[in-house]
Amino acid sequence: MAEWLHEAQYSLVVFTVLIQVTVGALWVLAAADLQLAQAPDAVRARFTRLGSALLVPVAAVGLLFSTTHLGRPLLAIRALRHWESSWMSREIWATGLFFGLIALYTVLWWWRPEAGKARRSIGALGAVVGAATIVTQAMIYLIPGRPMWNHWSTVVLFFGTALTLGPLAVAALHGAVWSGLRSRTRAGDAGPAEAGAVLRTSYRHVGPALLAGSVVYGIGLLARLSHLFGGAAAALATPGAAGKAAVGGETVKTALLLGQQVVAMNSPLLWLEISLAVGVPALLGVALWTLSGQGGSLRSCGQLVAAGLGLALLGNLAGRALFYLSGQPWF
């Protein structure tokens, strides 16, 4: 098991997924914040502020995991050095900057709520830097040394994770806050009713966002599988490629064949990824949109969102583990 976890690069699985969750969550929060500038609403503002509380802890856990991948974690700071040519250095710069911006964003929400303009600018900047962080994360894997990863689908998959898990994480936190609020208030209190209306609107927005996110993830996964399976079929049709005796550019097919075999050997992970990372957010998106629109119970919406977050997170972790496993040394 320990060896399998090591091969699946568990530290990088957790690191990449959690940073992507944070980026997706900031997109949702910064967008809501921008809307608030147009139509101020105290209850909505409270929800958005509460949502900002998840950014720093989630990203911090991700960063902590990233250092466990290093052989000499105490020297990690050195990795900033080679930004002119190394995507790894660029990733660390981008992630550091992103972390600084979300920390500042959270501080402004909680300790300087009146500085709305500054906060919104930081939020918008953070959203852009977050997108850039995901691009740098993906570029690390676009290397000819590992043909299984060297494909545009890597970028799409990373964005797919942010687009599904980010909104889900924010919605789950909001649902939990609302149910806490409801259980603490007495009958006749107007607070929960107002909050419920805001939560309903938020679910109605999250629904289509989840659907769109799962389409992005699905496109990435389909492209990745056809990259691997297409390469594997080409390897079997090329003399020598399956026996590791291919020549020059043909050796790429040998690598893809190996990647495809790893996917086939770990097919339970693939099924988890398809059903939980793509299927669950898609179904949940449709369910939220219809339920919240037709006056369905907020409690059941909240339960669905919480369960959906757990399952989708599991699906993403499984899919990312499979991503690392399939990018094995092949020569």
Give the interface with another protein as residue ranges (CB under 8 A): 69-73, 75-76, 78-82, 85-89, 92, 140, 143-146, 239-240, 243-249, 251-252, 327, 329, 331
Question: How far is it, in rounded angstroms, from Cα 95 to Cα 288?
Answer: 32
DSSP 166: H
* Entry field: residues in the chain: 331
Closer to another protein by Cβ: residue 19 or 284:
19
Closer to another protein by Cβ: residue 113 or 145:
145
Angle ∠(176,11,318) on CA atoms, nearest 5: 65
- Largest interatomic CA distance in the chain: 78
Q: How far is the CB of 76 from another protein (least distance, A)?
A: 6
Question: How far is it, in rounded angstroms, from Cα 204 to Cα 192?
Answer: 18
Q: How far is the CB of 241 from another protein (least distance, A)?
A: 10
Per the structure block, which two tokens stand in for 249?
């550019």
Closer to another protein by Cβ: residue 111 or 331:
331
CA distances from residue 125 to 39, 77, 163, 205, 255 in whole angstroms, order as listed: 21, 24, 18, 22, 39
Q: How far is the CB of 322 from another protein (least distance, A)?
A: 17
Closer to another protein by Cβ: residue 239 or 293:
239
Q: How far is the CB of 119 from another protein (least distance, A)?
A: 33
Angle between helices 116-139 and 87-111 (to 10 degrees): 160
Q: CB under 8 Å to 276, separation ≥6 — which residues?
A: 311, 312, 314, 315, 316, 318
Per the structure block, which two tokens stand in for 305?
């969102």
Q: How far is the CB of 263 from another protein (least distance, A)?
A: 18
Question: How far is it, in rounded angstroms, from Cα 272 to Cα 153?
Answer: 19
State the number of CA atoms in the 13 A half-sphere of 118 facing the CB. Answer: 12
Reported as type and span, the H/E element at residue 21 is: helix 10-38
Burial of 245 (0-12, 13-18, 19+ CB in 10 A): exposed
Closer to another protein by Cβ: residue 86 or 179:
86
Closer to another protein by Cβ: residue 60 or 79:
79
Question: How far is it, in rounded angstroms, from Cα 199 to Cα 187?
Answer: 19
Closer to another protein by Cβ: residue 134 or 282:
134
Closer to another protein by Cβ: residue 195 or 246:
246
Question: How far is it, in rounded angstroms, from Cα 40 to Cα 193?
Answer: 18
Closer to another protein by Cβ: residue 5 or 247:
247
Q: What's the distance, Cα to Cα, between the start and end of the chain in Å?
A: 24
